[in-house]
Structure 1
Amino acid sequence: MIKVSVVVPVYNAGSYIERCAPSLVNQSLGADAYEVVYVDDGSTDDSAERLGRLAEAHAHVRVHRQENSGWPGRPRNVGIDLSRGKYVQFVDQDDELSYEALERLYALAERNGSDIVLGKVHGTMQGPSNVFKRTVERCTAADAPLFESLTPHKMFRRDFLHEHGIRFPEGRVRLEDQLFMARTYVRAKTVSILGSYPCYRWNRRDDGGNNSSRRITPDDYYGHLGNVVEAIKEGTPPGDLQDRLLRRSYRVELLRPVSEPRVLRRSGKDLEEYFTTVRRMAMTSYPAGVREGLPAISRLRAELLVRGRLDSLVELARRTEQIRAHVEVDDMRWRNGRLVIRTRIGMVRGDGEPLTVVRRGGRTLLDPELLDGIGGAEDWEVPDPFTSAHGELIVHDTAGNHWWYPHGELTPALEPLGGDRHRVVVTGETVIDPLTLTGDEPMSPGAHQVWASAQLLGVGRRPRLTPTPGATRVILGTVAVGAPARLVSPTWAGPGGQLRLAVGAPGRIGTTRRLLLRTTADHRLRHGVREVLRRLPTGTSRNVRATARRAERWLVR
């Protein structure tokens, strides 16, 4: 029985075939349980010969050659028709699968009767995505942020695609992947997300040959975006769910040309063309509820767009571009082998003052100083300061380029600043467990950088987690966790003083020189040494005590 068919569209892939192929033909699922279907879309280089050699060497590889269609849609459709597996997994010619990807995705699909399974994506084309924060056994577009992941690099139940007649648009169609995914998401009864294992490595080509990196025109791009919008409307009734599903394309695709940095990089006719195109689409394609559910600054942009205030949009972009996140590390300590970090994140304007809301006459208004002099933005009301507000810490495994989400989301709060001014913050504890952070597996040896992420009032920022300026700078001692034990050492040694966790190989416990608390207070140093000695394995404390006697030189004053 063939469990999975891997479909790979190919056009002039050249040496990328050999880069991608080993990860496909050597899956842990077993060669008798899956097939790899390459569809060569009329390549003019030596791709056909390379694929032929691959098929000769591997019995579970099939190659189909066709005339050039100009885009990945037709070869993917042909691949669906040629597939014999219960599930179809799409892979681009320059990307890779992790060794256990098919085995894990298939098991998750079978366990839940899934129509679609999303595998965690990593690589040079992918940053952190909270879609893959956790493994989700069963969900739908109504209760999970599926529309934040619109690439087709996923596993689909083949009968599901046939039952609904879902195919990729053929020919040179922009956003063909978004259109395909929109049609599947609104029809899927069960979707699963594998967030505990990096499955798909999405690579940026060295030669810039990815389709998504090619130049576009406003009419072309937004004309095809209109097809995506219509697909969502056709698959959902008018109302809250439809508005929520459409809000992603409005926020990401429609407002992007009139927001920083793009609106500040364009000028003249080029800027006018983009502005005219997205304004027309905003006024004709989206229900009013889509705009009403946006956070404060995004909703203001939407209003200025509809009013035709390009000048105000440009000035708003200049000011919001200067907004940065202000992160305060209130406390950090080891607790039962877990690193617990208490943080508070707010936003500050370009002048260093907090981004605020103001309570006046029973209304909540967006920061008047931010908006001063911007036509059409006066007294901009904020019905709910917490709309789309969220924050979290993220850990980046720099060696594997994997992003992991510790437990403990930050909670939005409104903090008084005096008078009628308040700032929106997110605050709370984050727990980094070195033994379970990476998909319930121990953190891999190497350097892991800690980042903060926050979305407040429609401004999203992802700064490095660095010490709070002017506050006591605390580094907790190295601890040994797990069996066999591995050392985990937090330091402010990352870029720009970023918090970095250095993880040692399991079973290789040695006494490093700096197993101490770094601080400005000597009593804390003594307390930290005692804590380190208590946690270290028997037999190593003698060396640590000798190191402690020389610790004065390491104090940060």
Structure 2
Amino acid sequence: MPIYNAGAYIERCAPSLVNQSLGADAYEVLYVDDGSTDDSAERLQRLAAAHAHVRVHRQENSGWPGKPRNEGIDRARGKYVQFVDQDDELSYEALERLYALAERNHSDIVLGKIHGTMQGPSNVFKRTVDRCTAADAPLFESLTPHKMFRREFLREHGIRFPEGRVRLEDQLFMARTYVRAKTVSILGSYPCYQWNRREDGGNNSSRRITADDYYGHLDKVVEAIKEGTPPGDLQDRLLRRSFRVELLRPVSEPRVLRRTGKDLEEYYTTVRRMAMTSYPPGVRDGLPAISRLRAELLVQDRLDSLVELARRTEKIKARVEVDDMRWRNGKLVIRTRVGMVRADGEPLTVVERGGRTLLDPELLDGIGGAEDWEVPDPFSYAYGELIVHDTANNQWWYPEGELAPTLEPLGGGRHRVVVAGETVVDPLTLAGGAPMTPGTHQVWVSAQLLGVGRRPRLTPAPGRSRILLGTVAVGAPPRLVLPAWGGPGGQLRLDVSGASRIGTTRRLLLRTAADHRFRHGVRGVLRRLPRGASRNIRAAARQADRWMLR
């Protein structure tokens, strides 16, 4: 852990480090104090005096995390190293589980599921993966260094963090490791790393970022990928992420609509030059339709067209349709369909014309350089999935089932691209193989179509009625699960009550009766309770029924 003027964050984070389930005799905690000027040194010394497996090294200030991390690699004595930032925490079993996964698979890198206020849902951690590489897994979607590395792997390849004030130092380090790692493992079943947003905003540097500075360092990331891969399909795929996410960002909404004058021109000129000189043509060719169009307009030097395209694309929304929802053997089965609609409420389409498939002419009408934009593959980068957010613990879980892309004919050669399918939410296994915890769990949708990504709440489509289901009891001892619509937009929520939470149980049963809008709703739930349900739960159902009669 690199430390610089961490102050009270040292004590806040320390318990999660020194009390790992792995056992104090199996690991060490190595703090590298990068010349702190506050009382961090004294705090660290007290911590080391109280815990035999804590070591502290102090050095002159280097101004950035790279050098203290490198110093930590050099001084570490373990087989693996795990990087942690000074304001973050590890879950209790993180090291034990990561180590077991690494040893079982002889892994060079192990990615532990990240959660916290600095991390939203990431389908990199959708499932636990024993063995993968950058060639067959979306590893480049996770570029923070908060991972476990085999120390000899880093030494063997001479992989170091850049030292000094280097932007994107984490991306550069991870690019060098991913392209060389023979075995990478992903622990998706247990939230390992809590990435916290500091109350004082201390996660971010206060130094102004210039276009030349930022993209000069991005160019080094690009070169690192090129050095570690031969030219061809794999290299293009790995480079596509930085092109799509970092390079096109200044010419996409919302940034291109907010920057003006010299500031916009500076970023535009910089990314245009880099698009033409740093990336092989195959990178642009493999992008989804709208992203590929942005790249073409950038190369054609059409800033005005990029601005107008961003203005129209920003207004595209996802339309979610819940076709069916029902309980099946104690599991909630949801059939959904997701498409995109333009600002006028009409579907975002592709059109067959003259043997070619073209991107929605209504969207592109009047945008110079975008006329008759061809879509070789309407399903490029198309995907969809449901995500469940455990709001009490701020953790995201992925149910079984993905939404598959398909074309739906609209007449006149027009088609809308949608993702559709069945998702199965198992309350007993959703949380990484464990039951859902008591509390409220919100259901979201994540979809990417034609280069437009959206993450809307799962709500009924406009004009469609809500599907109402009763509460079910699952597991032993039984816990009650109630699908209900509420909150912003009437989002689908799963309210979960443990058997001992009688007050919550009563509220859930009451809500079931209210949702069904008939007097015997609660009694219907009562009949579905298993024989082993506790007398308290049955009593709560009868109590709720009496309240409804009143």
The TM-score range, normalised by the shorter chain, is: over 0.9
Q: Which residue of 2 aligns with 1:54?
A: 47
Q: Which residue of 2 aligns with 1:515?
A: 512
Say whether residues 1:271 and 2:288 are aligned partners.
no
* Equivalent residue in structure 2 for 1:65, among 48, 58, 61: 58
Query: CA offsets, 1:484-532, max 9 Å, x none?
Result: 1111111102332111111112444645223348369x8xx98x77863
Say whether residues 1:372 and 2:365 are aligned partners.
yes
Matches within 5 A, 1:306-325: 306-325=299-318
Task: Tell me, in whole angstroms, the C-alpha distance in 2 between the residues paired with 1:503 and 1:428.
Answer: 25
Q: In the alignment, is the contact (CA less than 8 A) between 1:474 and 1:517 conserved in 2?
A: no
* Equivalent residue in structure 1 for 2:410, among 407, 414, 417: 417
Query: CA offsets, 1:129-157, max 9 Å, x none?
Result: 00000000000000000000000000000
Q: CA deviation at 1:541?
A: 7.1
AA matched with 1:301: R
Q: Which residue of 1 aligns with 2:113?
A: 120
AA matched with 1:200: Y
Task: Tell me, in whole angstroms, the C-alpha distance in 1 between the residues paired with 2:77 and 2:404.
Answer: 48
The 3 A distance-change label for structure 1 pair 38 and 546 is closer
Farther-moved stretch of structure 1 (469-478 vs 130-139): 469-478
Farther-moved stretch of structure 1 (211-220 vs 155-164): 211-220
Q: CA deviation at 1:16?
A: 1.1
Matches within 5 A, 1:363-402: 363-402=356-395
Q: Which residue of 2 aligns with 1:294?
A: 287
Say whether residues 1:440 and 2:433 are aligned partners.
yes
Q: Partner of 1:80: helix, strand, or coil?
A: helix
Instruction: List runs of 5+ in structure 2 lacking aligned partners.
Output: none
Matches within 5 A, 1:131-142: 131-142=124-135
- Deviation >6 Å, runs of 4+: 539-543, 545-553
Say whether residues 1:33 and 2:26 are aligned partners.
yes
Q: In the alignment, is the contact (CA less than 8 A) between 1:478 and 1:516 conserved in 2?
A: no
Q: CA deviation at 1:214?
A: 5.3
Q: Which residue of 2 aligns with 1:249?
A: 242
Q: In the alignment, is the contact (CA less than 8 A) between 1:477 and 1:517 conserved in 2?
A: no
Say whether residues 1:165 and 2:162 are aligned partners.
no
AA matched with 1:446: G
Q: Which residue of 1 aligns with 2:38?
A: 45
Task: Tell me, in whole angstroms, the C-alpha distance in 2 between the residues paired with 1:529 and 1:333.
Answer: 18
Q: Which residue of 2 aligns with 1:5?
A: none
AA matched with 2:355: G
* Equivalent residue in structure 1 for 2:17, among 19, 24, 46: 24
* Equivalent residue in structure 1 for 2:181, among 178, 181, 188: 188
Task: Tell me, in whole angstroms, the C-alpha distance in 2 between the residues paired with 1:96 and 1:306.
Answer: 44
Q: Which residue of 2 aligns with 1:463?
A: 456
Query: CA offsets, 1:57-103, max 9 Å, x none?
Result: 11111000001111100000000000000000000011100000000
Q: In the alignment, is the contact (CA less than 8 A) between 1:23 and 1:99 conserved in 2?
A: yes
Task: Tell me, in whole angstroms, the C-alpha distance in 1 between the residues paired with 2:197 and 2:538.
Answer: 48
Q: Cα RMSD between the aligned structures?
A: 1.9
Task: Tell me, in whole angstroms, the C-alpha distance in 2 between the residues paired with 1:21 and 1:151.
Answer: 21
The 3 A distance-change label for structure 1 pair 37 and 496 is same
Task: Tell me, in whole angstroms, the C-alpha distance in 2 between the residues paired with 1:341 and 1:229.
Answer: 41
Q: CA deviation at 1:547?
A: 6.3
AA matched with 1:304: L
Q: In the alignment, is the contact (CA less than 8 A) between 1:152 and 1:181 conserved in 2?
A: yes
Q: Partner of 2:511: helix, strand, or coil?
A: coil
Q: Partner of 2:453: helix, strand, or coil?
A: strand
Q: CA deviation at 1:27?
A: 0.5
Query: CA offsets, 1:239-264, max 9 Å, x none?
Result: 00000000000000000000000101
Q: CA deviation at 1:216?
A: 1.0
Q: In the alignment, is the contact (CA less than 8 A) between 1:473 and 1:518 conserved in 2?
A: no
AA matched with 2:62: S
Q: In the alignment, is the contact (CA less than 8 A) between 1:517 and 1:529 conserved in 2?
A: no
Q: In the alignment, is the contact (CA less than 8 A) between 2:523 and 2:541 conserved in 1?
A: no
Q: Partner of 1:92: helix, strand, or coil?
A: coil
AA matched with 1:168: F
Q: CA deviation at 1:468?
A: 2.3
Task: Tell me, in whole angstroms, the C-alpha distance in 2 between the residues paired with 1:258 and 1:472.
Answer: 40
* Equivalent residue in structure 2 for 1:197, among 190, 202, 205: 190
Q: CA deviation at 1:533?
A: 4.2
Task: Tell me, in whole angstroms, the C-alpha distance in 2 between the residues paired with 1:114 and 1:176.
Answer: 23
Q: In the alignment, is the contact (CA less than 8 A) between 2:523 and 2:545 conserved in 1?
A: no
Task: Tell me, in whole angstroms, the C-alpha distance in 2 between the residues paired with 1:392 and 1:543.
Answer: 36
Task: Tell me, in whole angstroms, the C-alpha distance in 2 between the residues paired with 1:86 and 1:533.
Answer: 55
Q: CA deviation at 1:474?
A: 1.7
AA matched with 2:480: L
Q: CA deviation at 1:470?
A: 1.8
AA matched with 1:86: K
The 3 A distance-change label for structure 1 pair 549 and 43 is closer
Task: Tell me, in whole angstroms, the C-alpha distance in 2 between the residues paired with 1:44 and 1:506.
Answer: 52
Q: Partner of 2:216: helix, strand, or coil?
A: helix
Task: Tell me, in whole angstroms, the C-alpha distance in 1 between the residues paired with 2:543 and 2:409.
Answer: 49
Task: Tell me, in whole angstroms, the C-alpha distance in 1 between the residues paired with 2:30 and 2:543.
Answer: 63
Instruction: List runs of 5+ in structure 1 lacking aligned partners.
Output: 1-7
Query: CA offsets, 1:321-353, max 9 Å, x none?
Result: 000000001111111110111000000001111
The 3 A distance-change label for structure 1 pair 488 and 200 is same
Say whether residues 1:145 and 2:138 are aligned partners.
yes
Matches within 5 A, 1:103-118: 103-118=96-111
Task: Tell me, in whole angstroms, the C-alpha distance in 2 between the residues paired with 1:481 and 1:507.
Answer: 14
Q: Partner of 2:28: helix, strand, or coil?
A: strand
Q: Which residue of 1 aligns with 2:148?
A: 155
The 3 A distance-change label for structure 1 pair 507 and 279 is same
Query: CA offsets, 1:370-424, max 9 Å, x none?
Result: 0000000000000010000000000001111101000000010100111111100
Query: CA offsets, 1:202-251, max 9 Å, x none?
Result: 11111111146753110000000000000000000000000000000000
Say whether residues 1:101 and 2:98 are aligned partners.
no
Q: In the alignment, is the contact (CA less than 8 A) between 1:472 and 1:519 conserved in 2?
A: no
Q: Which residue of 2 aligns with 1:3?
A: none
Task: Tell me, in whole angstroms, the C-alpha distance in 1 between the residues paired with 2:170 and 2:495.
Answer: 39
Farther-moved stretch of structure 1 (10-19 vs 85-94): 10-19
AA matched with 1:513: L
Say whether residues 1:262 and 2:255 are aligned partners.
yes
Identity %: 83
Q: Partner of 2:72: helix, strand, or coil?
A: helix
Q: Partner of 1:257: helix, strand, or coil?
A: helix
Q: Partner of 2:307: helix, strand, or coil?
A: helix
Say whether residues 1:130 and 2:102 are aligned partners.
no
The 3 A distance-change label for structure 1 pair 315 and 541 is same
Task: Tell me, in whole angstroms, the C-alpha distance in 1 between the residues paired with 2:125 and 2:297.
Answer: 34
